[in-house]
């Protein structure tokens, strides 16, 4: 069997590879869809057992259109842009080659197998490109050779309160090793406490900035607030807040949110946390039609409380958002208080199905075995993944002072990767 792949960058030719391994398996990952709606994509993912080692029984061959690369177990590979210093800047890692100056008739003049990779000399300009075998294997896409792994999340319910993820302020502040441990906990569980934080806005801001720069919004940058409605949002009141994610009215909601209780002279104000991915799994298992609907129906949102401001995303988004490549659930966008008018319906039956789905979702979020409750105290900061964990609070009395901030999702993931993985490994995947 042979597969043709298209090349980008300098190596604009096809790579043709035989597939003969009995261990090669295609796994189908199908995302639930709503009947009558445009279905989400079904993903074919290769479970690769092959190593990036050339076959001892076959030779590399090439012609004017393709290079035939036989792997040890007959798996597929491909070529992408050349990695040399003439084609990619050694420091910025950006492409230097003008892709569109490469003639469409480009072809290999010579292909040489070396110990660690493939060397190709190009006929048009005699340029030499080198492709490490591991790099070829990693970036193969027809089919993908790297074994597909779901993100290693640990889903939880109310039982997480028995042993919640936590770390000390000192550990985070003093080393990137501590930041690696912290960001790993946030990524895995969706939240983490930081203990022994000095009870001051300055120390809390220093903590947030160990991950990345603070994201500025219409609420400002770093917050220090009480229930005085200084910002026209119910977060600035003593009212109860149902569990929700922040920033549904942004096209790109904040990735992380940190909260630190500085002072509370009164009662109540218990924090509520729900693992949105766990709740979504329950919804999918118990009410699959509702899962489909909340994955497809787009919900408009807005933030219009403050004078001169009415923030709305560039387009409405569903409550449950999936990765466009691997189909994983990647983001929860849920804040019924910030939901705008729903007026883009196909028929009345669609309205009924949507509100029924929302009711199913709300019931699951409110289950006592799903909802984790905790009373925040000064000196113990809480940080959570705003794309995954829903948060809320009970009503409270008296004077309550909080501080905190947002961090962009991409900044968080970058910090997580670069502190938990070697830089060369991260860049090899780019």
Residues 270 and 383 in one domain: yes
Is 328 within a domain?
Answer: yes
Average pLDDT score, the chain: 83
Structure tokens at 66: 């393709």
- Domain membership of residue 430 (yes or no) is no
Question: Among 149, 180, 196, where does a domain finish?
Answer: 149
> How much is the pLDDT for 419?
95
Band the pLDDT of 331: cuts 50, 70, 90. very high
**Per-residue model confidence (pLDDT) at position 80:** 53
Total-model pTM: 0.81
What value does the mean pLDDT take over residues 319-341? 93
Q: Which of 221, 190, 201 is nearest to 381 (CA)?
A: 201
Closest to 86 in 3D by CA, of 71, 73, 96, 76: 96
Is there a single domain that holds both residue 272 and residue 386? yes
Strand-pair category, 166-168 with 191-195: parallel
Give 23-61 pLDDT, tens digit per residue.
333 222 223 333 333 333 333 333 444 567 776 766 777
Specify whether 134 is located in the same domain as 170: no
Region of poorest pLDDT, from 74-78, 199-203, 342-346: 74-78
In this model, does residue 428 exceed pLDDT 70? Answer: yes
The answer to the question of residue 50 being in a domain is: yes
Same domain? 233 vs 142: no
66-68/14-18 β-pairing:
parallel
The least confident of 128-142, 247-261, 264-278, 390-404 is: 128-142
Domain with residue 367: its CATH number is 3.60.130.10
134/250 same-domain check: no
For residue 208, name the pLDDT band (cuts at 50, 70, 90): very high
CATH number, domain containing residue 70: 3.30.2020.30
Domain final residue, candidates 96, 125, 149: 149
pLDDT tens digits for 70-81? 666 555 454 556
> Which of these, 273, 198, 261, lies nearest to 398 by C-alpha position?
261
Give 100's Cβ-side CA count (13 Å radius): 0
Same structural domain, 113 and 214: no
Please tell me which of 18-32, 53-67, 94-108, 372-386 the model is most confident about, judged by mean pLDDT. Answer: 372-386
Residue that finishes a domain, picked among 149, 183, 200: 149
> Which single residue is written with the structure tokens 């007959």?
74
Pick the range with the lowest mean pLDDT from 145-159, 214-228, 276-290, 404-418.
Answer: 145-159
Both structure tokens of 247:
């920033």
Residue 355 maps to a domain:
yes
DSSP collapsed to 3 states, the chain: CEEEECCCCCCCCEEEEECCCCCCEEEEEECCCCCCCCCCCEEEEEECCCCCCECCCCCCEECCCEEECCECCCCCCCCCCCCCCCCECCCCCCECCCHHHCCCCCCEEEEEECCCEEEEEECCCCCEEEEEHHHHHHCCCCCCCCCCCCCCCCCCCHHHHHCCCEEEHHHHHHCHHHHHHHHHHHHHHCEEEEECCCCCHHHHHHHHCCCCCCECECCECCEEECCCCCCCCHHHCCCCEEEECCCCCCCCCCCEEEEEEEEEECCECCEEEEEHHHHHHHHHHHCHHHHHHHHHCCECECECCCCCCCECCCCCECCEEECCCCCCEEEECCCHHHECCCCCCCCHHHHHHHHHHHHHHHHHHCCCCCEEEECCCCCCEEEEECCCEEEEECCECCEEEEEEEEECHHHHHHHHHHHHCCHHHHHHCC
pLDDT at residue 8 in the model: 31
CA distance 8 to 139: 12
Instruction: Select the more confidently predicted residue: 311 or 71.
Output: 311
Residue 85: predicted pLDDT = 79
> Residues 65, 71, 73, 77: is their CA dihedral positive or negative?
negative
Q: Does 173 lie in the same domain as 241?
A: yes
Of 149, 116, 5, 127, which is closest to residue 65 (Cα–Cα)? 5
User: Are 145 and 167 found together in one domain?
Assistant: no
State the total domains in the chain. 2
Give yes or no: residues 29 and 114 share one domain.
yes
Which residue range(s) make up the domain with 319?
A: 158-420
Q: Is residue 427 part of a domain?
A: no
Pair (275, 175) in one structural domain: yes
Whether 425 is covered by a domain: the verdict is: no
Do 317 and 181 share a structural domain?
Answer: yes
Checking if the pLDDT of 146 tops 60, the result is no
Residues 222 and 328 grouped into a single domain: yes
- In the prediction, which pLDDT does 5 show? 29
Q: Which residues contact 289 (CB under 8 A, 6 or more apart)?
A: 34, 35, 353, 357
Cα distance between residue 413 and residue 151, in whole Å: 13
């Amino acid at each position: 069997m042979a597969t043709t792949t298209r090349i980008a960058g300098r190596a604009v030719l096809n790579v043709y590879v035989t597939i003969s391994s009995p261990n090669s398996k295609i796994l189908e990952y199908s995302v639930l869809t709503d009947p009558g709606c445009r279905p989400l994509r079904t993903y074919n993912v290769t479970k690769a057992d092959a190593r990036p080692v050339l076959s001892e029984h076959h030779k590399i061959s090439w012609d004017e259109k393709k290079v035939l690369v036989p792997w040890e177990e007959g798996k597929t590979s491909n070529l992408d842009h050349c990695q040399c210093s003439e084609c990619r800047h050694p420091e910025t890692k950006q492409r230097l080659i003008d892709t569109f100056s490469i003639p469409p008739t480009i072809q290999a003049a010579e292909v040489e197998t070396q110990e660690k990779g493939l060397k190709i000399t190009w006929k048009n300009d005699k340029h030499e490109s080198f492709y490490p075998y591991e790099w070829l294997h990693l970036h193969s896409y027809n089919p993908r050779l790297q074994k597909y792994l779901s993100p290693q999340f640990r889903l939880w319910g109310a039982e997480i309160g028995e042993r919640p993820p936590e770390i000390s302020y000192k550990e985070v502040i003093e080393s990137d090793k501590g930041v690696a441990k912290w960001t790993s906990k946030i990524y895995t569980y969706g939240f983490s406490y930081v203990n022994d934080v000095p009870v001051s806005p300055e120390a809390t801001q220093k903590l947030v900035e160990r991950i990345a720069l603070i994201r500025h919004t219409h609420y400002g940058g770093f917050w220090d607030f009480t229930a005085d409605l200084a910002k026209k949002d119910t977060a600035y009141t003593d009212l109860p807040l149902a569990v929700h994610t922040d920033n549904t009215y942004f096209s790109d909601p904040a990735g992380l949110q940190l909260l630190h209780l500085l002072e509370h002279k009164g009662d109540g104000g218990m924090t509520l946390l729900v693992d949105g991915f766990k709740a979504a799994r329950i919804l999918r298992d118990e009410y699959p039609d509702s899962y489909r609907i909340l994955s497809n129906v787009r919900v408009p949102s807005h933030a219009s409380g403050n004078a001169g401001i009415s923030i709305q995303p560039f387009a409405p988004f569903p409550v449950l958002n999936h990765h466009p490549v691997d189909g994983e659930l990647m983001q929860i966008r849920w804040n019924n208080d910030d939901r705008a008018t729903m007026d883009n319906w196909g028929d009345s039956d669609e309205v009924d199905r949507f509100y029924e789905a929302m009711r199913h979702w709300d019931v699951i979020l409110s289950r006592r075995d799903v909802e984790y409750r905790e009373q925040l105290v000064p000196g113990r900061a809480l940080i959570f993944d705003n794309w995954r964990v829903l948060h809320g609070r009970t009503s409270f009395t008296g004077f309550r002072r909080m501080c905190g901030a947002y961090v962009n999702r991409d900044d968080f993931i970058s910090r997580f990767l670069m502190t938990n993985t070697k830089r060369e490994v991260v860049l090899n995947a780019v």
